[in-house]
Structure 1
Amino acid sequence: MLLEKIFKLKEHGTNVKTEILAGLTTFLAMAYILAVNPSLLGLTGMDQNAVFVATALSAAIATFVMGFFANYPVALASGMGLNAYFTYSVCLGMGLGDGAWRIALTAVLVEGFIFILLSLFKFREKIVNGIPENLKYGITAGIGLFISMIGLKGAGIIRSDASIVDGKVSSSTLVALGDFASPTVVLALIGVILIGVLTHYHVKAAILLGILATWILGIFAELSGWYVVNPAAGVYSNIPSFANYTPFPSLAPTFMQFDFNYVTHNPMNFIIVMFAFLFVDLFDTVGTLIGVASKGNLLNEKGELPRAGRALLSDAVGTVVGACLGTSTVTSFVESSAGVAEGGRTGLTAVTSGVLFLVAIPLYPIFTSIQGFATAPALIFVGLLMMSSVLKMKFSGDLADAVGGFLAIIMMPFTYSIANGIMFGMLSWVIIKIFTGKIKDISPIMYVVGGLFVLRIITLAMHIA
C-alpha cells in the first residue's frame, strides 16, 4: 500500500481512517486563521482576498512539506502573535508609511532564508534535542495552558478586566469571568462538556464532533435571534454566505511584493524588525514541536525528536513560501495537538490538513463561518490533555530543573507567548546551574541559547523589538 510505504502507518500504530480524522480535526481547530489573518493584515492596507488565498495556499504547501518530508502530524499556517507583530508593531507602529507591509514581508522573507540555513546546519535541531527533560515537560504543559487560554478568551469565557474611569484605564484584576448571558460563552462550555462525555465513551472523533456540534448549535442560536451578528464588535455569522462569491481571488496584490530599497537605506531598523520575527518564530516552533511530539509519544528514549531537522526545515520553507505569496510568518501550529489527541501520528495527518486548506480556497465562505467559540472547546480540552506532562516532571532535587520547568509553564499563558515561556524557563535553568556550581551540566547549545535570550531581553529593555 502506497500510504503505508510513505508514512509507515503500522510502525506508528495508526491507520488511514484515524490519520484522516486527525487531519480534519487539526484543520478545524486552526481554520480560524483563515478568517483572522486576512482581517488583521488587511489593517495594513493589504488586499484581504489576496491575503486569504496566500494564507490558505502557504499553509497547504508548508503542511505538505511537513507531512511528506518530515512525516510528522504537524500543520502549519500564518502564526498568531507573529501576524499581530507584523500589523501593529511594524506596519502601524514604526511610521513606515503606506508601503510598510512590503517592508514587513521582506523581513519575513529574509528570516525564512536564515532559518533554512540554521536548519541545514542543524542549529535549530540541536536546540530541540538539547533542552533538558524537565524543561520539555514544562514546555508541553505550558503550551497546554496557553492554548486553553486562547480557547477561553476566544469564546469570551474569560476577558480582560479593564474599564475606562475618568479617561483612565482601571482594573481590579488582570482577567475576569466573561458574560454568562453571552451565547458564545454558553455554547463553548456546552462544547467542552460534550467532548468530555464523548471521550468518556471512547468516541474516536470526540474533539472533531465537539467542534461541529458547537458550530451547528451556533447556527441555531443565530437563527433564533440569541446569537446576534455584529461585525463591529467582532461577532460574525455562523451561516456561510456566498454573496459576491469568487472561487479563487487573485494573488497579484500581494505576490512577491517586497521592498529591498528600504533594506539598503535603513539596514539597522530592518535588522531589528527581522530579528524580532526570527526570535519569536524560532522558539515558538521549537516549543510547538516539543509539545506536539511529547503528547503524541513521538520523542525517542532519550527524549529527543527524531527527524527534527526535517521538521524545522519544513517550517523554514513555509516561511519563505508565505512571504512570497503575501502573508506573515508561517509556523508550526500548536493546534496540531488536537489532531494528535485524536490519534494522528504520521505525516498523513498533516497532508490531510494540507488538502483541506486547498479545499478551503473555493469553499472559504463555509470554513470561515466556523467561529472561535466553536473551536474553543477543542483547544480547552487539548490543553487538559497536554497538562498531563506535569506528572512526569521532577519538582525535587535539582532546583534548576524545577524552577526552569515551572517558569516555562506559567510564563506562556501569563505573557501570552510560547517564546516567552521558553525564554524564562531556559534562561533561569542556565543561571541557576551556574550559581549552584553545576556548570558542567550546561551543554554548549544551552550557552548559545542563553546568550540569545540575554540579547532578546536587552532589546526588550531598550524598547526596540
Structure 2
Amino acid sequence: MDAGQRAPKNGGVCFMEKMFKLKEHGTTVGKEVAGGFTTFFAMAYIIFVNPNFLSQTGMDFNAVMLATCISAAVGTAVTALLANVPFAQAPGMGLNAFFTFTVCFGMGYTWQQALAIVFISGLLFLAITVSPLRKQVIDAIPAPLKNAISAGIGLFIALVGLLNAGIVVADGNLLDLGNITSGAPLLALIGLLVTGILMACGVKAAMLIGILVTTVIGIPMGLTTLPGEITLSGVSLAPTFMQMDFGGLLSMGVLPLITAIVTFTICDMFDTVGTLIGTAGNAGMLNEKGELPHGDRALIADAVATCAGACLGTSTVTTFVESSTGISEGARTGFSSLVVSLCFLASCVLAPVAGIIPGAATAPALIIVGILMLKSAARIDWSDFEIAMPCFLTIAMMPFAYSITDGIGFGFISWVVIKVFRGKFKEVPVLMYILSLLFVLMYILSNL
C-alpha cells in the first residue's frame, strides 16, 4: 500500500521534472509551488481592483471579475507551457486606467469598442512579436522615456486612488483636500496606513491583506455592506463575453483609433519586456547575451492573453512585476506559473463576495502601486536637461492633464524636437518620428 501510494507521487515529480526541467534550472517542486503561491498572493489584489476600474465604464462588476480571473489563468498557463518561465499575467494596472479614463471617458469610445481596440492591439503585439520588428520597436523608444512612462502611470494611478477615496476632491477645475476625518476618506487613509505598514514589514500579500482588513474595518463604520446571502446565482461572464464592437471604431476618427491601438501595444510591450528582463536579470536568469531564454515565447503568450482577455471582457493582460516575489522564493520555471494559473481559476468563486469590498478599501492598493511604479524615475538622468525635460513632461502631464496618452505624446514630441535642434536627428529612430507626428496630427485635428 505504501509503495502504491509513493509511485504516483514519484511519477508526478518525474513528470514535472521532464516537463519543466526542474534540475536543469536548479529548482525543486517545493520551491516552485512556494514561488507560485507567493506570486499569486502578491498580485491577487487585481481581482478586486480591476473590476473596480472597468465597472466605471458601465461594465458588469462580477463579469469583469470573472474575466480578470480567467484571463489571468489563461495567460499565465500559456506562459508556463509555451515559455517555461516563472512569470504570471493578469489585466495590467495603468492599462486598465488608460482603458477607462482615456479611451472611454476621454476619447468617447464605448466599453465594447474599447474591448475591440484591446483585441486589435493584441493582434498587433502578436504580429510584432513573431517578426523581426520586435527588436526594432523595443529599441526605438529611449530607455529614459520608458522609465518616465512607468513613473507617470504610477502617479496617474495614485491620483485615481486618491480621487476614488475622496482623500482628494475635484473643486471645479482645481483639486483640493477632501474631508478626511470621516467616511470613505478616513477609511481609505486607515487602509493606506495598514497596507503601508505591512509593505514596510515585508509581509507577503500585503496589498491583498490590506484590502481585506480595510473592508472589515469598514463594517462598523457603515461603509461595508454585508449581503443577506452569498450565492453564485446571477454571476455570469455573459455581460462582457464576446461583446467587442468593431463596427463603431471609426466613429471618433482614424487618428484617435490609431493612437489608442498604438498606445495599448507599446505600453503592453514595454511593460512585459521591462518586467522579463529586469526581474530575470536580478535573479541571474539571463544568458551571456543578456537575454531571457524563451523570452520571445513569453511575449507571444502575453499577446495571446491580451486577445483572450478582450474576448472575455477585460482590458489588456500583461506580465506582472509581482512575479519577482515568487522568483525571490526560488521559482525558476513555468511550474510556478502553472500554480498561479490554478489559483486564479479557483478565485472565480470569489465573485459573489467581491461586491462587498468598498471602493475605499481598494483605493489604498492603487496608491501603493503608484508608489512602486514611481521608482522608475530614479533611473532617469535628471542632470541632463536634454533627457530631463521630455521625461518630466511625460510624468507630469499624465496626472495634470488626467491622460496617459497626453503624457506619452508630450514626452515623445519634446524628445524628438530637442534632439533635432541639437543636431542629433540621426540618433532618433524612424519610429519615434512617426509616433511623434501622429501625436502632433492628433492634437491639431482634435482642436479644429
Same fold (TM over 0.5): yes
Instruction: List alignment gaps of at least 5 residues for structure 2.
Output: 1-12
- The Cα shift of 1:436 comes to 0.3
Distance 1:189 1:75 in 2: 29
Distance 1:427 1:292 in 2: 26
Distance 2:153 2:280 in 1: 16
Q: Deviations over 1:264-294 (max 9, x none)?
A: xx97868557424412312331453366458
For residues 187-226 of structure 1, what are the structure 2 equivalents within 5 Å? Answer: 187-201=187-201, 203-205=202-204, 208-222=205-219, 224=220, 226=221
Tell me if structure 2 keeps the 8 A contact 1:295–1:340.
Answer: no
1:227 to 214, 219, 222: 222
Tell me if structure 2 keeps the 8 A contact 1:128–1:308.
Answer: no
Given the superposition, is the C-alpha separation of residues 418 and 295 from structure 1 closer, same or farther in structure 2, using an over 3 Å criterion? Answer: farther
Given the superposition, is the C-alpha separation of residues 86 and 378 from structure 1 closer, same or farther in structure 2, using an over 3 Å criterion? Answer: closer
Partner of 2:421: 435
Distance 1:249 1:243 in 2: 15
Distance 1:102 1:390 in 2: 34
Tell me if structure 2 keeps the 8 A contact 1:25–1:338.
Answer: yes
Distance 1:135 1:154 in 2: 28
- The Cα shift of 1:26 comes to 0.9
For residues 43-54 of structure 1, what are the structure 2 equivalents within 5 Å? Answer: 52-54=65-67
Distance 1:356 1:457 in 2: 45
The answer to whether 1:57 aligns with 2:70 is yes
The answer to whether 1:364 aligns with 2:361 is no
Residue 374 of structure 1 aligns with an amino acid whose one-letter code is A
Partner of 1:388: 375
1:76 alignment partner, SS class: strand
The answer to whether 1:5 aligns with 2:21 is yes
Given the superposition, is the C-alpha separation of residues 438 and 150 from structure 1 closer, same or farther in structure 2, using an over 3 Å criterion? Answer: same
Identity %: 29
Residue 448 of structure 1 aligns with an amino acid whose one-letter code is L
TM norm structure 2: 0.75
1:76 to 76, 90, 100: 90
Residue 444 of structure 2 aligns with an amino acid whose one-letter code is A
For residues 11-410 of structure 1, what are the structure 2 equivalents within 5 Å? Answer: 16-38=33-55, 40-42=57-59, 52-70=65-83, 71=85, 73-77=87-91, 79-83=96-100, 87-88=104-105, 93=108, 105-160=115-170, 162=171, 170-171=172-173, 173=174, 175-201=175-201, 203-205=202-204, 208-222=205-219, 224=220, 226-228=221-223, 237=225, 239=226, 242=229, 245-246=232-233, 249=236, 251=238, 255-256=241-242, 262=247, 274-289=257-272, 292=275, 296=279, 298=281, 309-325=296-312, 327-332=313-318, 336-337=320-321, 340=324, 343=328, 351=338, 353-397=340-384, 399-410=385-396
Tell me if structure 2 keeps the 8 A contact 1:72–1:311.
Answer: no
1:31 alignment partner, SS class: helix
1:288 alignment partner, SS class: helix
Residue 136 of structure 2 aligns with an amino acid whose one-letter code is K
Distance 1:308 1:337 in 2: 15
1:387 alignment partner, SS class: helix
Partner of 1:232: none
Tell me if structure 1 keeps the 8 A contact 2:56–2:100.
Answer: no
Equivalences, count: 419
Tell me if structure 1 keeps the 8 A contact 2:190–2:214.
Answer: no
2:300 alignment partner, SS class: helix
Tell me if structure 1 keeps the 8 A contact 2:51–2:64.
Answer: no
Given the superposition, is the C-alpha separation of residues 464 and 269 from structure 1 closer, same or farther in structure 2, using an over 3 Å criterion? Answer: farther
Distance 1:349 1:412 in 2: 35
1:138 alignment partner, SS class: helix
Distance 2:52 2:380 in 1: 38
- The Cα shift of 1:401 comes to 1.9
Residue 75 of structure 1 aligns with an amino acid whose one-letter code is Q
- The Cα shift of 1:435 comes to 0.8
Distance 2:445 2:289 in 1: 39
Distance 2:344 2:214 in 1: 24
Given the superposition, is the C-alpha separation of residues 429 and 381 from structure 1 closer, same or farther in structure 2, using an over 3 Å criterion? Answer: same
- The Cα shift of 1:159 comes to 2.3
Distance 2:88 2:402 in 1: 21
Tell me if structure 2 keeps the 8 A contact 1:215–1:374.
Answer: yes
Given the superposition, is the C-alpha separation of residues 102 and 126 from structure 1 closer, same or farther in structure 2, using an over 3 Å criterion? Answer: same
Given the superposition, is the C-alpha separation of residues 276 and 402 from structure 1 closer, same or farther in structure 2, using an over 3 Å criterion? Answer: closer
1:396 alignment partner, SS class: coil
The alignment's C-alpha RMSD in Å is: 4.2
Distance 1:370 1:132 in 2: 40
Distance 1:291 1:194 in 2: 30
| Higher deviation after alignment, 337-346 or 426-435 | 337-346
Tell me if structure 2 keeps the 8 A contact 1:61–1:354.
Answer: yes
Given the superposition, is the C-alpha separation of residues 107 and 142 from structure 1 closer, same or farther in structure 2, using an over 3 Å criterion? Answer: closer
Residue 373 of structure 1 aligns with an amino acid whose one-letter code is A
Given the superposition, is the C-alpha separation of residues 142 and 247 from structure 1 closer, same or farther in structure 2, using an over 3 Å criterion? Answer: same
Residue 185 of structure 1 aligns with an amino acid whose one-letter code is P
- The Cα shift of 1:318 comes to 2.3
Residue 5 of structure 1 aligns with an amino acid whose one-letter code is K
Q: Deviations over 1:313-354 (max 9, x none)?
A: 3332223223433x2542327xx3456468588666765554
2:45 alignment partner, SS class: helix
1:403 alignment partner, SS class: helix
Partner of 1:411: 397
Q: Deviations over 1:85-132 (max 9, x none)?
A: 665578xx57xxxxx776665554444333321222243543334433
1:249 alignment partner, SS class: coil
Distance 1:192 1:149 in 2: 14
Given the superposition, is the C-alpha separation of residues 391 and 330 from structure 1 closer, same or farther in structure 2, using an over 3 Å criterion? Answer: closer
2:176 alignment partner, SS class: strand
